[in-house]
Each structure stands twice: as structure tokens, then as C-alpha cells.
Amino acid sequence: MKHHYPPELKEKVVKEALQKNVSHTQIARKYHLSAIVLSSWIRQFRNQQKPNNGF
């Protein structure tokens, strides 16, 4: 079953994963996500930092 998460939550989780000295796996567990989902969100967030892309 595919879950839909609000963009605000995605941004919060990604920023936490990028700023803290905690593994992505630990952050994913904290928010009940798979590490694959979190990795995807991080990739999307980084791509968003480039011009003309959205998160």
C-alpha cells in the first residue's frame, strides 16, 4: 500500500536526516519509514535545490 505524506513532513524528515549525526536508517525508523523511502526523499530534496525542480 502506497502512503502519501505531506510535503511539510517530507521536508522536516529530510532536513533532520541531513543535519544530524544520525544514520538515515535511524531517522527512517523514528518516522516509521523504510530507508529506501527516506533515500528517495533525500534525492528529491537535493534535486529540488537545483533550479526549476520541485519537492
pLDDT score for 37: 96
pLDDT score for 53: 52
Question: Can you tell me the distance from the alpha carbon of 34 to that of 39, in angstroms, rounded to the nearest whole number?
Answer: 9
pLDDT score for 3: 80
pLDDT score for 16: 95
- Domain locations in the chain? 7-48
Q: Tell me the three cell numbers of residue 10.
A: 517530507
Q: What is the pLDDT of residues 1-55, one digit of tens each?
A: 678 899 999 999 999 999 978 899 999 999 999 999 999 999 999 998 876 555 5
pTM over 0.85: no
Question: Can you tell me the distance from the alpha carbon of 55 to that of 34, in angstroms, rounded to the nearest whole number?
Answer: 19
H or E element: which one contains 41? helix 35-48
